[in-house]
Amino acid sequence: MAFLRLAVLGDPVAHSLSPVIHAAALEFAGLEGSYSRRQVDRRGMGRAADDLRSGRLAGANVTMPHKALAAGLADRRSGAVVRSGGANTLWMENGRLHAESTDPEGVRFAWQHARLPGDAPVLLLGAGSAAAAALLALGDREVWVAARRPEAAHDLMARVGARAVVAPWGQPVAGAVLVNATPLGMRGEALPAGVLDEAGGLLELAYGRGQTPAEAALAARGLPVASGELMLVGQGAASFAIWTGVEVPPTVMLAALAAHRDPAC
């Protein structure tokens, strides 16, 4: 296999840990390649699509705020992309630019790895592409959706084609696993106190530097918590398999993250 040039596209993107996990995946798979960060605007996304079509890039991940744009640039979109409205994985196949969303796989991996309760209801915060991925992954459960604008929650359910109950922003659901699909917490922001007080667990879909306040609060109570890094690893492993045909155990990527945080390990 030729040298693989991979990248993550977004704005901002300097915080992304994707290069860490994909470098580990390349080494595990015995493949020569690189994985870089590209901070791009809308025009830069178009140039990245050109690089994929020409073979200068073998594959790309896409993060906020360009997931919807990535879906629009593709020639072929998976069912998950159509339903969620966004793509996080791009690659060329049979002369066509393909778009996939591996975020639902990330949600499922994080849920299982953290041993979040399988029979608990879900309170989903947010109505964007991350929330859509969570709803795709968890739509067979009892789900409440809360957004600052109730109409956004209704639009999300219609777009995904999933059944859920719209809850007022800040209203708790007793015993529910809280799925935070908003940016709140990445810079130390707090979630509404009530939803934390009655939560039975937490899944963060984004990650920042260290634990979010919500993660720290629920972990201190001995409740199961899935960090955004688990989501990152789950979706990253699925993307890597699409690009290379090699299934890398997510534990390889988790170990790389641990070593990145503490090089002495």
Task: Report the catalytic residues.
Answer: 67
What does the buried/exposed string (b/e) look like for 48-61 if buried means 16 or more CB atoms within 10 Å of the residue's CB? bbebbeeeebbbbb
Residue with tokens 């929330």: 131
CA distances from 18 to 8, 35, 166, 239 (A): 7, 8, 33, 11
- What would the two tokens of residue 103 be? 């975020």
Is-contact 106 239, C-beta < 8 A?
no
DSSP H or E run through 170: none
257: three-class secondary structure by DSSP: helix
Q: Residue 121: what are its φ and ψ, rounded to 5°?
A: -70, 165
Give CA–CA dist 47/37, Å, rounded: 14
Give CA–CA dist 104/138, Å, rounded: 8
Is-contact 33 2, C-beta < 8 A?
no
As a residue count, the chain comes to 265
Is-contact 133 103, C-beta < 8 A?
yes
DSSP H or E run through 90: strand 89-93
- What would the two tokens of residue 141 be? 């459960």
